[in-house]
Amino acid sequence: MNLSGILVVTTPPEIDALIDTLNAMPGLEVHNVDRDSSKLIVVQEAESIHDEIDGLKKIKKLPGIVLADMVYHYFAEDESLMPELPEDLDELTGMPQSVVPEYLND
Amino acid sequence: MEQTRRDFLKTSVAASAAATVGLPVTQAVQAAAMEAEEGWQWDKSVCRFCGTGCGIMVATKNDRIVATKGDPDAPVNRGLNCIKGYFNGKIMYGKDRLTQPLLRMKDGKYAKDGKFTPVTWERAFDEMEKQFKKVYKEMGPHGVAVFGSGQYTIPEGYTMAKLMKAGFRSNNIDPNARHCMASAVVGFIQTFGIDEPSGNYDDIEHTETVITWGANMAECHPVLWARVSDRKMADPKVKIVNLTTCSNQTSDIADSEIVFKPGTDLAIYNYIAREIVKRDAVDHDFVNKHCVFATGPYDIGYGMRGTSKYAFEAEKDTQAKELKITLDKYEAIAQRKKEGQVVEQKNRAKPVKHWQISFDDFKKGVEPYTLDFVAELSKGDVDESLESHKKKLKALADLYAEKGRKVTSFWTMGMNQHYRGSWVNEQAYMVHLLTGKQAKPGDGAFSLTGQPSACGTAREVGTFAHRLPADMVVFNGKHRERSEKIWKLPAKTLNPKVGSHITKILRSLEDGSIKWAWVQVNNPFQASANANHWIKGARAKDNFLVVSDPYPTVSGKVGDLILPTAMIYEKWGLYGNAERRTQGWRQQVNPPGEAMGDVWQGLEFAKRFKLKEVWGEHKIPGLKGKGYENGMLPSVLDEAVKMGYSPEDTLYDVLFATAENKKVAWPHDPAVTKGHGNHIAEKLGDGWFPEKALFDEYRQFTVNFQHDLADFDTYMRDDVRGLKWPVIDGKETQWRFNEKYDPYVKKGMGFEFYGKALKATPTGNLDKPTSKEKKKLAGKAKIFFRPYAAPPEQPDNNYDLWMSTGRVIEHWHTGTMTRRVPELHRAVPTAQIFMHPDDASKRGLKRNDVVWIESRRGKVKSIVETQGRNRPTKGYTFVPFFDESVMINMVALDVTCPMSKEEDFKKCAVKVYKA
């Protein structure tokens, strides 16, 4: 489980619609609303931080967004949250693992 | 995980986030948050990555980092983090973290062609020492070198600069920061006589105009860009212009995007200057009182080698331009010469020389830069009409020239990594000084930096081949004398001969004039252009390369000994950011395994040298001057004995663990340490606190010397989130050179550009100095005229595309740290080549095709991206350099600005074809 706290800045006419939109998105909850400054705090829960980054990118693209940025990051002490790099990643690209010529390690 | 725990955590995240950005939370929520964070210890710290210098709060539990958040009290970022900053806590936990020294061995002995084998620290230092002493004996101080860093903490940079310069009497220490901001430094020193910006980030909130030149701030300085966006939203008067060679995210909120042809920024600046003069928008009072005009030679080469001896066959035509060029049509007009004229590069050896000229000469210089001429030369997008480009250029000039409009210009690598980077930096000040829009809140040309302590360590401490602390230089006798006094060295210990800059160290490893090198906090064999040569050099039989790194890197792989190194929050440290802000942090957790901090590595190595081995006489090639007859750096051993040293003393005793420094005890005052450990002091075990002792010693260089820093303990205080130097009577300085804010400005002056360097020059006209007599210009800034010069390598029929390298937001530099965070790696696993869809289809390519990118110097495989965040115009490509499997620096060109020696990573010619 990864949790992030995201600051969202919007404008007064957009704020209510935006709160509804955000709450309807998977993994998102609007926790704090400050109407004076049109600022929201959204908590995002996601499987991986990759999904969190995607989530943030989606928020940034919503109508009525002035600013959306991460403020807080929690990652549990749990080792499973620091998995090894999936091997298929490098295969995906078809790239060699290292540019250092083979002979250097001979 | 139980539901209740999860809810607790979410409440906690929300409460913390709200508090961070100053939103109110209820007491109940706060109480719940406190419960979720039970057992966590929060402490202030600084981000590991770029030069912005954001404050980060770090939470630890059981010697492990469990959470990070933006620091709400940090004036730089006010609680915000960018995506990289968000992962500061994770970069230390990659699975391939190095925890033991590794030496190439065969049959139990060191062997150049051996395999990396784990050894003890003792064995590692034994081999390092043996190899060092062999080279030092054979070649002297100039045969050894250190690749330093703009990511060194201040105590790390100081330790290594002192060990090299005072201990080994070698100036061959140069940081990767050379590749990041050396051109900015030359711009500062030439213009103001002192390094680093006059203004600070608060200029963003004060200004009405933000102009970015070769800086994709949205992606590379996102937190500052958030401040710019806020400013833009708050005031409709605010205008943003993005000048770039490649359409990028910074243009998204800009009022105008100007896409220009690589290198023509030189001409655009002169067009703006010409307009300012023509419209009489010059602030004559400011210019007359505070500025002079100056220029220098044009024929200064391109920072390549002067010989083709080491060049690959295919690169010889580019290399030949180092000595001789033929002026093209535009250069001829821009330099008031004839097209086709052959110009020998006669001033390669003295590119920084310059002389004062009259305002009339300056006007003559900018006269050819009409709108018609500059628009035709600079238009970067073939699909844009000339009229549209002209309109934008004129609107840009309007903004700079408008009386009373506040203007802040920002730039980074587009202007610094430039074959005329120092010139274009000087030109940025040219337009601001002409209009009097400098050193005032909201008004100023502001050079952003890329590394967390490029300013604080590399520049201020002076881990450069020519520098000493506090803007002093090795070739100035008075500066050496002052340094020798503070360091308690015998007179003439310091070597007056400028050492090798980072590209020259690489070239010297290839040609055999340096044979021992130590890489610290950087990855030069991935990060330097034309890398095929340097990898060959690293593997040359006689060379010994030591690499200190937390992770295996390209540099490690081509090295002979790898030392496992502690990372950011595993040690005490201080960084200095781009706005002169020095910030400190405590050790948060212990390093894993046997990994140790760089300060300790330097100190341990120093223990292995006795004065008699290093302070004797040395032959230094090229050394001249009185007291250095026959190029000899004299023995200072007799003088050392007179000062109370013994030839048997070690460099550790004499330079570091001095009687004075040993008084700075570890454990230190609990009010400062707050229960935090210090793995370095504990391992040394002789009772002193090296980071504090060395910082406070270094501070002596700065006080009453225009660079005043506070003491170590002040920076560790909870109520201090960094201070902008000069710090005088405990107060930081917001805007330098401005009487209202800067105590160094003499009363009644209004403004005073008081930097001391280069404050007397010959005088002359646009073409040459006419009088050798030096005219003083104390307290004044220089407005330089610099002409347009064409890039030495441009696309042709064979290599038909421009190629620039750079960053993407998810990754930092060579990816050594960020690629260890699986999520960041997945987000952008490999470096793509960004190109225009038409350029791709013309070559029979489509998105995601695997292609070869080939230049005269080498080729690499990459993947085509035609729809990404970078949207190159036709004829232009962009490749990030973070990925070692797409080592684009094998393709890039090692042209440097001849003045700053900074490489131009932004301009070379390539061809792209299907793999």
Could you read off the pLDDT of B354-405 as tens digits, one per residue? 999 999 999 999 999 999 999 999 999 999 999 999 999 999 999 999 999 9
Contact (Cβ atoms closer than 8 angstroms) between residue B267 and residue B377: yes
Q: What one-letter code names the amino acid at B173?
A: I
A-chain residue closest to B3, CA distance: A1
Distances (CA, A) of B764 to B277, B771, B812: 21, 6, 45
Q: Residue B152: is its pLDDT beyond 80?
A: yes
CATH number for the domain formed by residue range(s) A2-93: 3.30.70.920
User: Is there a domain that residue B735 lies in?
Assistant: no
| Residues B9 and B133 placed together within one structural domain of the fold | no
Residue among B656, B749, B654 at smallest CA distance from B695: B656
Nearest to B152 by CA among B550, B502, B575, B570: B575
Helices B265-278 + B386-401 axis angle, to 10: 60
In B246-312 the beta strands, taken as DSSP E runs, fall at: 256-259, 291-295
Please check whether residue B143 is in contact with residue B513, taking contact to mean a CB–CB distance below 8 angstroms: yes
B-chain residues near A1 (CB < 8 A):
1, 6
Is B897 a known active-site residue? no
Whether B683 contacts B663, CB under 8 Å: no
B327-349: per-residue pLDDT in tens?
Answer: 999 999 999 999 999 999 999 99
pLDDT of residue A61: 84
The reply to whether residue A72 touches residue B113, judged by beta carbons under 8 angstroms, is: no
CB contacts, 8 Å: B826 with chain A: 48, 50, 86, 89
- Whether B272 is covered by a domain: the verdict is yes
Place of tokens 């002056």: B749
Mean pLDDT of B814-837: 74
Set B199, B442, B450, B559: catalytic member: B450
Helix or strand run (H / E) with residue B594: none
Same-domain pairing of B600 and B672: yes
Domain end point (choices B691, B713, B732): B691
Task: Identify whether residues B395 and B291 lie together within a single domain.
Answer: yes
Range name among B395-409, B525-539, B745-759 with the lowest pLDDT average:
B525-539
Residues of A in contact with B1 (CB under 8 A): 1, 76
**Within 10 A of A5 (CB to CB), how many other CB atoms are there?**
29
- Looking at B691, B720, B743, the residue that finishes a domain is B691
Interface test with B, best of A19, A32, A61 (most B CBs within 10 A): A32
pLDDT band at B798 (very low <50, low <70, confident <90, very high): very high
Per-residue model confidence (pLDDT) at position B324: 97
Residue B867 is predicted with a pLDDT of 83
- Cβ–Cβ of A99/B67 closer than 8 Å? no
Provide the residue ranges of all domains of chain A, joining segments of one domain with +: 2-93
d(CA B274, CA B251): 26
How far apart are alpha carbons B557 and B526 in whole angstroms? 11
Q: Which CATH number characterizes residue B464's domain?
A: 3.40.50.740
Instruction: Examine residue B316 and state whether it is found in any structural domain, yes or no.
Output: no
Q: What is the DSSP string of B739-785?
A: TTT-TTSPTT-SB-----TT-EEEEE-SSSEEEEEEEE-TT-EEEE-
Residue of A nearest to B91 (CA): A82
Split at pLDDT 50, 70, 90, the class of B809 is low
- Residue of B79, B83, B825 with shortest CB distance to A85: B825
What are residue B472's phi and psi, to 5 degrees?
-85, 160
What is the predicted pLDDT for the residue at A78?
Answer: 35
Is B89 close to A73, i.e. CB distance below 8 A?
A: yes
Whether B875 has a pLDDT exceeding 50, the answer reads: yes
- The rounded distance, in Å, linking the Cα atoms of B781 and B882 is 38
> Of the ranges B180-184, B380-384, B822-826, which one carries the lowest mean pLDDT score?
B822-826
Cross-strand bridge partners of residue B632:
B619
Q: How far apart are CA B691 and CA B645, in angstroms?
A: 24
Measure in Å the smallest separation between the Cα of B19 and chain A Cα atoms.
10
Chain-chain contact of A5 with B17 (C-beta, under 8 angstroms) = yes
Question: What is the H or E stretch that residue B27 is in?
Answer: helix B27-36
| pLDDT recorded at residue B14 | 80
Mean pLDDT, residues B280-284: 98
Domain end, chosen from B26, B58, B93, is at B93
Per residue in B890-904, pLDDT (tens digit) is 999 999 999 999 999
If one compares B743 and B72, the residue with the highest pLDDT of the two is: B743
> Which residue has 């042809």 as its token pair?
B261
In CATH, what number is assigned to the domain containing residue B269? 3.40.228.10
B47 a catalytic residue: no
A:B CB pairs within 8 Å: 171
Question: Residue B627: what pLDDT?
Answer: 92
Residue B332 in domain: no
Q: What is the mean pLDDT of residues B584-604?
A: 97
Gap between the Cα atoms of A54 and B424, Å rounded: 38
> Which residue among B84, B239, B906, B907 is the active-site one?
B84
For residue B742, tell me if it sits in a domain.
Answer: no
At B19 the pLDDT is: 73
Q: Is the pLDDT of residue B8 over 80?
A: no
Question: Three-state SS for B530?
Answer: coil
**Each residue of B203-241: pLDDT tens digit?**
999 999 999 999 999 888 888 988 998 898 789 899 999
Burial (0-12, 13-18, 19+ Cβ within 10 Å), B177: buried
pLDDT tens column, B15-42? 777 777 777 777 777 777 777 788 889 9
B84 is catalytic: yes
B825 — pLDDT class (breaks 50, 70, 90): low
Q: For the residues B868-884, what does the mean pLDDT come to?
A: 86
Strands B55-61 and B41-46: antiparallel
Return all residues near B373 (Cβ < 8 A) that are at least 6 apart: B267, B330, B333
Q: Is the ipTM of this complex over 0.85?
A: no
The pLDDT tens digits of the residues spanning A82-92 come to 333 333 333 33
Task: Dihedral sign for Cα B713, B716, B719, B724, please.
Answer: positive
> Position B847: which residue type?
R
- Confidence at B795, pLDDT banded by 50, 70, 90: very high
For chain B, give the mean pLDDT.
94
Residues B621 and B769 in one domain: no
Å between B688 CA and nearest CA of chain A = 33
What is the distance between the alpha carbons of residues B557 and B551, in angstroms, rounded to a whole number?
11
Q: Does residue B826 surpass a pLDDT of 90?
A: no
Six token digits for residue A82: 């620091």
Taken as a whole, chain B contains a residue count of: 915
pLDDT band at A60 (very low <50, low <70, confident <90, very high): confident
Q: Are residues B380 and B265 in the same domain?
A: yes
B549 and B605 both lie in a single domain: yes
Question: What is the model's pLDDT at position A1?
Answer: 66
More confident residue, B3 or B783: B783
Give the CATH number, domain containing residue B907: 2.40.40.20
Report the gap between the CA of B732 and the closest CA in chain A (Å).
Answer: 27
Phi-psi label, residue B622: left if phi above 0, alpha if psi -120 to 50, beta otherwise: left
Is B526 among the residues known to form the active site?
A: no
Task: Among B20-34, B39-53, B412-426, B765-779, name the one with the lowest average pLDDT.
Answer: B20-34
Q: Which range is least confidently modeled, A30-34, B697-701, B753-757? A: A30-34
The residue among A42, A53, A73, A79 with the most chain B CBs within 10 A of its CB, best to mutate, is: A73
State how many domains chain B has. Answer: 4
- Judge whether B450 counts as a catalytic residue: yes
Q: Please tell me what DSSP assigns to residue A103.
A: G
pLDDT classification of B831: cutoffs 50, 70, 90:
confident
Residue A4: predicted pLDDT: 84
Query: Who wins on pLDDT, B94 or B116?
Result: B116
Specify if B345 maps to a domain: no
Name the band, by pLDDT with cuts 50, 70 and 90, for residue B629. very high
CA B226 to chain centre: 23
Does residue B520 sit within a domain?
yes
How many CB atoms within 10 Å of residue B769?
Answer: 19
The confidence band for B670, taking pLDDT boundaries of 50, 70 and 90, is very high
Distance CA B728, CA B706 (A): 10
Radius of gyration of chain A (CA): 19
State which amino acid sits at residue B283. Answer: D
Residue B869 burial class via C-beta count within 10 angstroms: exposed 0-12, middle 13-18, buried 19 and up: middle
Amino acid identity, position B424: V
Joined tokens for residue B363: 């006007």
pLDDT band at B317 (very low <50, low <70, confident <90, very high): very high
Active-site option among B128, B139, B413, B897:
B413
Summarize the confidence of residues B47-57 as an average pLDDT.
Answer: 93
How many other C-beta atoms lie within 10 A of the C-beta of residue B733? 21
Q: Is B890 tagged catalytic?
A: no
Whether B52 and B132 share a structural domain: no
CB contact under 8 A, B829 and A89: yes
Measured distance CA(B24)–CA(B619) in Å, rounded: 68
Domain match, B121 and B132 both: yes
Q: Are residues B601 and B505 in the same domain?
A: yes
pLDDT at position B827: 59
Residues B150 and B274 grouped into a single domain: no
Do residue B11 and residue B71 come from a single domain? yes
Q: Print the domain residue range for B597.
A: 102-177+453-572+582-691
Please state, in angstroms and as integers, the Cα–Cα distance from residue B602 to each residue in B99, B562, B563, following that order.
18, 14, 12
In a domain, B343, yes or no: no
Pairing verdict, β B801-806 and B908-914: antiparallel
Determine the distance in angstroms separating the CA of B86 from the nearest CA of chain A, rounded to an integer. Answer: 6
